[in-house]
């Protein structure tokens, strides 16, 4: 049985807040294990990476090259079927088009005091892309993490993916080559994150590490953050669907299950302003679960973390959505554009009945790497911005200097930083003369 | 004596790389201490915050309100001298103007397949601003961290600042009120970060925590990252100056020392393409150090971490600058705009002889919270973007659905996600009928 809430009930807020606060993570404390792996790789480089890879992935990699005779990206890619290549090419081109549109403009302006200000965006030089291996080995993830880096102008894109026993999906290999990965290493786990951050063997350190992984990978990214950039700490993911009487219950049920099948810790929530739709969706979920090959996993998620919420109106539904701050939000309602302005916190919004999350996962072109576990309160999905940084620019004219100097001197004095004051005052006498 | 390098020498690269890799941090392992403080605050809330504040700051705060009878923001602000208020107002207005210009535009477009795509920027709801107390209590930091949040539209700005023994700078209090801080708590350290992230007493959790702090604060931010957003992990800061024969050695020396006076771990580096300028700067630094009230601190920094590098030309100087990826880069040269396109990695660039870093620290309007310790390789200074997030938007038409469905189905099949495939295929038969 899935949990049900009624937003009209006086105890809704308390009960629902407790539901939202439930831990969907693994709960394992992996910090000290990860610390040791990072320290080992920093101290022993490629040898430590090779040792951990032999231990965890049963794969021999050369401590210097970090390559394995059993994993050849080009050979693997050649095994990718033609129709799947075509689908990957199609997704690639759409992702490239969407992210090309994201490029921010440089800006430069002169204000009334004669001070020139602005900023300039430049690309990161090198990026490491972590791609999970095994069951969760997704060519779409390769594209979503790599294509924006390429579009941004990153000149060195390094991909790592564990290949347990030498196994790696041919579609992952094809997607990597299609997206233009410059270097590939068949390594994973915290040891791969360490190798990317510190360098190991011939793998030179990168400037930023992106891509999802298990709890060890997430913790390793957290621990190397600062020394290199990271994208986000990914947690369990979720979908929220707001449905009205125009929604097709079978479609809504299918979309809820498309999230639930990912992992038992996934979360699928329906808010409906029409009770009969809620009931019909609940029945349809049960029916579809029985047919679904991934039904066992999806049922665990649906029964542990799923919910159906009755809301009196769409405004209330939007307020609840903002409280959830879902990774994915489908507006399966008659006029989604009318509700959109009320949505403040969501990773991605899917408008109308023909826009299931699954299309966004693969081929609309927008990025499927999105803030999970309520992180849409403060974070954005992956985008071109993750591979660019903004350099601020300023140039002070003699007139501008005269206008700015007094306040700067007063503040430096208040902050007891006399060398700051001196670097202004030393120029004061000559500020009219130089430019 | 300051260290000197010559980029023309064959061993320059090795020696300089070793210099850059030197640890300027504290080296203390604070992770476990911070972990305990976070756990205590999460378990015991306001009481734990009050206990730690009594212990570390010798200040009694009420466990429920987290307020102290000895710290009244309005009373303190009233003690701020009129001329200092005027300087704070001046800086405030310039910072507000600069960050207003940063607002990114929403975007919506329909592609050739009839798929509508785009994104929308929305503000964070609540932000915590950490302001260091004691000696490093800076009104300018209050403005730099708070004003962009206000401009972005953050509705709840919470400031924390330790007030050891009840002491807090009146200018900090005035700047907080001027910038529009909504709540203030006289707490600091890891316990304040924990209170902001988890909530404590009447302090409700915030969505993101920004602002610099000591090693405990930095580690606490690292550990709560994911649960809330954070800005960056701040490390020791630095200035790099590229100077040619047009530079005034006394001005350059003053600017190097304005960075060195912050902290013994600060770093000031000069690259000059004119050896005589390098020599003159070295002498001027010695002379100014003798007069400077903060000379002792500045000398520690200059002698331990400073450097003067001779470069054969400006192109080489730019390449070295990119390797350093400095927080602050002054181009004290005849034609800074000509060199700017070669600069790839820097937090902020100051063009020409009349733009010392100190003006940017206070009053040009651009943000002085910048990526330190080589983080400009992957990060940007604080800006409006830190207080906004980007929601992706997509809407698929019947024609678009027909165009996208086959590739999505093929990819879902390859990734063994049958519920993803079903959420597409279930709509296929009716995709011509619904919109």
Whether residues A404 and B364 touch (CB distance < 8 A) is answered with yes
Q: Give the per-residue pLDDT at A4.
A: 87
Q: Give the per-residue pLDDT at B435.
A: 39
* Backbone angles phi and psi of B14, in degrees to 5: -65, -50
Same domain, A164 and A313: no
B148 touching A, CB under 8 A? no
Q: Hey, is A236 helix, strand or coil?
A: coil
Å from B77 to nearest chain A CA?
14
Q: Hey, is B63 helix, strand or coil?
A: coil
Which residue on chain A is closest to B224 by alpha carbon? A222
For residue range A301-347, what is the model confidence (pLDDT) as tens digits?
Answer: 999 999 999 999 999 999 999 999 999 999 999 999 999 999 999 99
**Residue A216 belongs to some domain of the structure:** yes
Q: Give the per-residue pLDDT at B402.
A: 96
pLDDT band at A26 (very low <50, low <70, confident <90, very high): low
Q: Give the per-residue pLDDT at A28.
A: 58
Mean pLDDT of B325-343: 98
For the beta carbon of residue A50, count every other beta carbon within 10 angstroms: 24
The burial class, CB within 10 Å (0-12 / 13-18 / 19+), for B380 is buried
Helix axes A189-198, A46-57, angle to 10 degrees: 160
Residue B125 pLDDT greater than 90, yes or no: yes
Q: First and final CA of chain B: distance in angstroms? A: 74
Which domain-ending residue is among B212, B230, B248? B230
The candidate with the shortest Cα–Cα distance to B286, out of B271, B275, B299, is B299
For residue range A373-404, what is the model confidence (pLDDT) as tens digits?
Answer: 899 999 999 999 999 999 999 999 999 999 99
**Residue A11 belongs to some domain of the structure:** no
Mean pLDDT of B356-381: 96
Q: Which of B328, B345, B353, B368 is catalytic?
A: B328
**Residue B71 belongs to some domain of the structure:** yes
For the beta carbon of residue A109, count every other beta carbon within 10 angstroms: 11
Same domain, B275 and B363: yes
Picking from B91, B258, B381, the nearest residue to A420 by CB comes out as B258
- Report DSSP state, residue B426: H
For residue range B8-60, what is the model confidence (pLDDT) as tens digits?
Answer: 998 998 888 888 888 776 555 788 899 999 999 999 999 999 999 999 999 99
**Residue B10 belongs to some domain of the structure:** no
Residue B388 · residue B105 · CB < 8 Å: no
**Residue B398 belongs to some domain of the structure:** no
Mean pLDDT of B122-149: 91
In whole angstroms, give the CA distance from residue A340 to residue A335: 9
Average pLDDT of chain B is: 94
A107 touching B, CB under 8 A? yes
**Residue B374 belongs to some domain of the structure:** yes
For residue range A61-112, what is the model confidence (pLDDT) as tens digits?
Answer: 999 999 999 999 999 999 999 999 999 999 999 999 999 999 999 999 999 9
Same domain, A312 and A196: no
Same domain, B211 and B321: no
User: Does the annotation mark B328 as catalytic?
Assistant: yes
For residue range B172-193, what is the model confidence (pLDDT) as tens digits?
Answer: 999 999 999 999 999 999 999 9
DSSP element (H, E) containing A9: none
Q: Which of B183, B327, B330, B357 is catalytic?
A: B327
Residue B434 · residue A332 · CB < 8 Å: no
Q: Which residues contact A324 (CB under 8 A, 6 or more apart)?
A: A20, A238, A240, A269, A345, A374
Picking from A31, A288, A417, the nearest residue to B261 by CB comes out as A417
Q: A285-289, B230-234, B294-298, B350-354: lowest mean pLDDT where?
A: B230-234
Helices (H), A292-390: 295-305, 314-324, 336-339, 357-362
Same domain, A250 and A371: yes
Write the CATH number for B87.
3.40.50.1980
Q: Hey, is B95 helix, strand or coil?
A: helix
B354 touching A, CB under 8 A? yes
Same domain, B175 and B245: no
A122 contact residues in B (CB cutoff 8 A): 343-345
Residue A269 · residue A307 · CB < 8 Å: yes
Parallel, antiparallel or unpaired: strands A388-396 and B3-6: unpaired
Q: Give the per-residue pLDDT at A364.
A: 97
Q: Give the per-residue pLDDT at A22.
A: 81
Q: What count of Cα atoms within 13 Å lies in the side-chain half-sphere of residue B421?
A: 15
Which domain-ending residue is among A186, A208, A230? A230
Q: How many domains does chain A have?
A: 3
Same domain, A183 and A226: yes
Identify the domain containing residue B60 by its residue range: 31-108+122-230
Mean pLDDT of B353-381: 96
Strands of B208-210's sheet in order across: B183-185, B156-160, B126-130, B208-210, B229-230
Which domain-ending residue is among B362, B378, B394? B378
- Report DSSP state, residue B228: B
Same domain, A75 and A216: yes
* Higher-pLDDT residue of A15, B209: B209
Whether residues B261 and A383 touch (CB distance < 8 A) is answered with no
Write the CATH number for A409.
1.20.5.1300
Same domain, B324 and B205: no
Largest CA distance in chain B: 83
Whether residues A348 and B391 touch (CB distance < 8 A) is answered with yes
Residue B136 pLDDT greater than 70, yes or no: no
A232 touching B, CB under 8 A? yes
B303 annotated binding-site participant = no
**Residue A241 belongs to some domain of the structure:** yes
Strands of B115-123's sheet in order across: A3-6, A307-310, A267-272, A238-243, A328-332, A348-351, B388-396, B115-123, B107-110
Average pLDDT of chain A is: 94
Same domain, B349 and B207: no
User: Does the annotation mark B327 as catalytic?
Assistant: yes
Q: How far is CA B342 from the centre of its chain?
A: 24
**Residue B411 belongs to some domain of the structure:** no
B237 annotated binding-site participant = yes
For residue range A135-185, what is the model confidence (pLDDT) as tens digits?
Answer: 567 999 999 999 999 999 999 999 999 999 999 999 999 999 999 999 999
Same domain, B222 and B297: no
Same domain, A185 and A55: yes
Q: Hey, is B401 helix, strand or coil?
A: helix
Interface ipTM: 0.94
User: What secondary structure does DSSP assign to A112-180, as a single string?
Assistant: TTSEEEEEEEEE-SEEEEE---GGG--HHHHHHHHHHHHHHT-SEEEEE---GGG---HHHHHHHHHHT
Picking from A207, A254, A427, the nearest residue to B377 by CB comes out as A207
């Amino acid at each position: 049985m899935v949990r049900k809430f009624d937003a009209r009930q006086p105890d809704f807020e308390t009960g629902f807040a407790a539901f939202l606060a439930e831990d969907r993570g693994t709960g394992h404390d992996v910090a000290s294990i990860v610390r040791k792996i990072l320290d080992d790789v920093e101290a022993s480089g490629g040898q430590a990476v090779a040792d951990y890879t032999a231990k965890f992935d049963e794969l021999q990699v050369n401590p210097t090259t970090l390559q394995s005779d059993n994993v050849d990206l080009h050979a693997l890619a050649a095994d990718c079927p033609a129709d799947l290549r075509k689908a990957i090419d199609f997704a690639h081109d759409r992702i490239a088009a969407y992210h090309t549109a994201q490029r921010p403009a440089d800006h430069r302006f002169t204000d009334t005091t004669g001070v020139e200000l602005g900023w300039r965006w430049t690309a990161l030089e090198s990026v490491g892309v972590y791609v999970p291996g095994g069951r969760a080995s997704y060519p779409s993830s390769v594209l979503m993490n790599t294509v924006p880096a390429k579009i941004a102008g990153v000149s060195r894109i390094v991909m790592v993916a564990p290949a347990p026993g030498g196994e790696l999906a041919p579609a992952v290999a094809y997607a990597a080559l299609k997206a233009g990965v410059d270097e590939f290493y068949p390594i994973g786990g915290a040891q791969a994150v360490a190798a990317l951050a510190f360098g190991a063997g011939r793998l030179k350190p990168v400037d930023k590490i992106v891509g999802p992984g298990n709890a060890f990978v997430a913790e390793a990214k957290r621990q190397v953050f600062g020394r290199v950039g990271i994208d986000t700490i990914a947690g369990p993911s979720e979908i929220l669907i707001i449905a009205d009487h125009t929604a097709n219950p079978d479609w809504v049920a299918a979309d809820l299950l498309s999230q639930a099948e990912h992992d038992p810790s996934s979360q699928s929530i329906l808010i409906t302003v029409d009770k009969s739709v809620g009931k019909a969706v609940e029945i349809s979920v049960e029916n579809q679960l029985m047919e679904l090959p991934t039904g066992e996993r999806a049922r665990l998620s649906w029964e542990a973390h799923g919910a159906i919420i009755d809301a009196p109106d769409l405004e209330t539904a939007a307020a609840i959505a903002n409280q959830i701050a879902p990774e994915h939000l489908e507006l399966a309602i008659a006029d989604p554009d009318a509700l959109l302005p009320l949505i403040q916190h969501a990773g991605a919004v899917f408008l109308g009945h023909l826009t299931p999350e699954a299309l966004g996962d693969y081929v609309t072109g927008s990025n499927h790497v999105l803030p999970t576990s309520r992180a849409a309160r403060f974070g954005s999905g992956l985008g071109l911005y993750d591979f660019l940084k903004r350099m601020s620019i300023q140039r002070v004219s003699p007139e501008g200097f005269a206008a700015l100097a007094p306040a700067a001197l007063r503040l430096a004095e208040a902050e007891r930083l006399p060398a700051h004051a001196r670097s202004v005052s030393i120029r004061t006498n000559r500020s009219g003369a130089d430019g």
